[in-house]
Amino acid sequence: MVDSPNIAPNASQPYIQLLERFFDCIDSGTLFETADSSYFRRLRDDIYDAIYQLLFWLRPLLEVEKGLDWPYAQLRKRVSLFEKAVAESTDQFIQRQACLFLARLPFPRQWQWLERARNEFGTDPEIETFLRLEHQRIEAKLNKKSQKRFLLRHFCQVLKKPRLPEEKGILRIFSLPYLFVNPVLLKALNRLYFLYVEPPWGILFRQAWLRPFAALDDPTLFGLNCEEDAAFMRSQPGILTTSLAHGDFLEDDETLKFDQEKRFDIVFNGTFNEMPRKRHAYMIELLQHPLLRRRTALFMGRGDQRNVADFKELIQTARLSSRVTVRDNLLRQDVPGYLGQCKVGVQISLHENGGRSIYEFLRSDLPCVIATSMAGVNPAIINSQTGIAAPDRDLPRAISQALEKRKEFTPRIWFLSHSGSVHSSRKLNDQLKAIFADLKYSWQEDIVPLASSGANRYVDSSHYERFRPQFEELLKIFLKHARLPISQRLD
């Protein structure tokens, strides 16, 4: 089913009010007046759910009412009170509950506290349940995949080979990072490689199972396009961040055609399998706004036919069939041809991480309008050259303005000057080189260029063969240290 086109105007209030009461109890010193452990467990569950709802599904409302950093800021403000309770309280019950708050909620250093709680209270029903659900979520992600066995090149890429003992290699993990959460596997990899991880989603406080990446001999570098996710991750010791991820490494396409007839005013590119997150229904609502009611739109994306049919039904119900065209499951090489027929790109997803579609718009010389509530986007890529960022209430006007003044934007010039595989690979290389210097590792060779898509993400296919000995060694490590759906062959 598609998502509802509307978020109730007051949907965020129960969650905001719950958090405000929680913060008031902390500030007044009344939080630990009860000695009921079941009460605290329910409270932690409720607080976590409130933060999740606000920062995931209700981001546009939170942006207006409190600001997107509000939940994190309030926790940062009070983290020392809980840490002091753990360190100084003479009441073991209070110590335990304070530790569990630090472990369960997205406080700074949460992952360290979660490991401490797992080690000290591993038989506690709350921790047992948390760990079980964590494992179930990973299993659910794997079960959801239509592909049941993966080649190494489907999710990781050697960027630089090891020259031990002076110089480690660099391994890029661009997909399925939950396959790596085995600490024994990670340590075996880290003996050879420095790790660069690009999670394919935002709002990383939800993925506490990534914490083994923070417990290695070297820090792990995470590619996170937005400051919200990066700030949370940097608060976890053992984690470094860069704003470079995924779409930043989009290669240029010299076959692009810019003289095509502009058949569509607006293009929206997002998977039909995740319409609530991508907000297809809200885009349909925007097309009915007075400022946009005469505009045409092209919707592209991959997805199951059932979901595509649901979306087409939504279009018919909204009586937009004459203005909206759907093209599903296009081959990737066919996408630029359709973009060349459009005037303006729109991206209003709830969250991404370096979403490819925005960079594809810019590469095809389309100004882009984005929602400022969207997580996982580097705000620097939307500027006076490339498009407009606006809160939900201003999106109709922003899209209309971008259409009216689209010739004043120069998105492709910006893309060629600041982004794409060449520029972003060089920037990442410089950052990694500086990290190696800090770690006192030698640096004898630069990384190979990165791409944003494809099974092995190499710009030059010969690089895969260059690193075949390293992939053969990686395969042995995976087969030895992890029970994972990994093929026993490389190709």
Give 99-127 as a DSSP string: HHHHHHS--TTHHHHHHHHHHHSTTSHHH
**165, 235, 157, 152: which is closest to 440 by C-alpha?**
165
Residues 362, 300, single domain; the answer is: yes
What pLDDT is recorded for position 283?
A: 97
Query: Which string of DSSP letters, residue by residue, matches 197-226?
Result: E--SSS-GGG-GGGGGGGSSSS-EEEE-SS
Residue 5 pLDDT > 50: no
Task: Say whether pTM exceeds 0.75.
Answer: yes
Residues 216, 206, single domain; the answer is: yes
What pLDDT is recorded for position 196?
A: 98
The length of the chain is: 491
Residue 219 pLDDT > 90: yes
Q: What is the mean pLDDT of residues 162-175?
A: 97
Which of residues 97, 115, 140 is at a domain's end? 140
What pLDDT is recorded for position 6?
A: 53
CA angle centred on 414, ends 459 and 240, rounded to 5°: 60
Confidence band of 9 (pLDDT split at 50, 70, 90) = confident
- Mean pLDDT, the chain, whole residue set: 95
Which of residues 140, 160, 180 is at a domain's end? 140
Task: Give domain status of residue 487, yes or no.
Answer: no
Residues 187, 76, single domain; the answer is: no
Residues 310, 413, single domain; the answer is: yes
Residues 283, 400, single domain; the answer is: yes
Which of residues 111, 140, 169 is at a domain's end? 140
Residue 3 pLDDT > 70: no
Residues 123, 164, single domain; the answer is: no
Number of domains in the chain: 3
Task: Give domain status of residue 488, yes or no.
Answer: no
Q: CATH number for the domain including 335?
A: 3.40.50.2000
Residues 272, 394, single domain; the answer is: yes
Place of tokens 């010389």: 365
Residues 135, 155, single domain; the answer is: no
Residues 357, 439, single domain; the answer is: no
Residues 272, 406, single domain; the answer is: yes
Q: What is the pLDDT of residues 40-91, one digit of tens each?
A: 999 999 999 999 999 999 999 999 999 999 999 999 999 999 999 999 999 9
Task: Give domain status of residue 285, yes or no.
Answer: yes
Residues 281, 218, single domain; the answer is: no
Task: Give domain status of residue 283, yes or no.
Answer: yes
Task: Give domain status of residue 8, yes or no.
Answer: no
Residues 118, 220, single domain; the answer is: no
Confidence band of 170 (pLDDT split at 50, 70, 90) = very high
Q: What is the pLDDT of residues 337-372, one digit of tens each?
A: 999 999 999 999 999 999 999 999 999 999 999 999
Task: Give domain status of residue 490, yes or no.
Answer: no
Q: Which domain holds residue 347?
A: 264-418
- In percent, how much of the chain has pLDDT > 70? 99
Task: Give domain status of residue 162, yes or no.
Answer: yes
Q: Distance (Å, rounded) from C-alpha 113 to C-alpha 216?
A: 16
Place of tokens 């990781």: 156
What pLDDT is recorded for position 484?
A: 81
Q: What is the pLDDT of residues 88-147, one digit of tens each?
A: 999 999 999 999 999 999 999 999 999 999 999 988 999 999 999 999 999 998 888 888
What pLDDT is recorded for position 195?
A: 98
**307, 318, 287, 301: which is closest to 360 by C-alpha?**
301
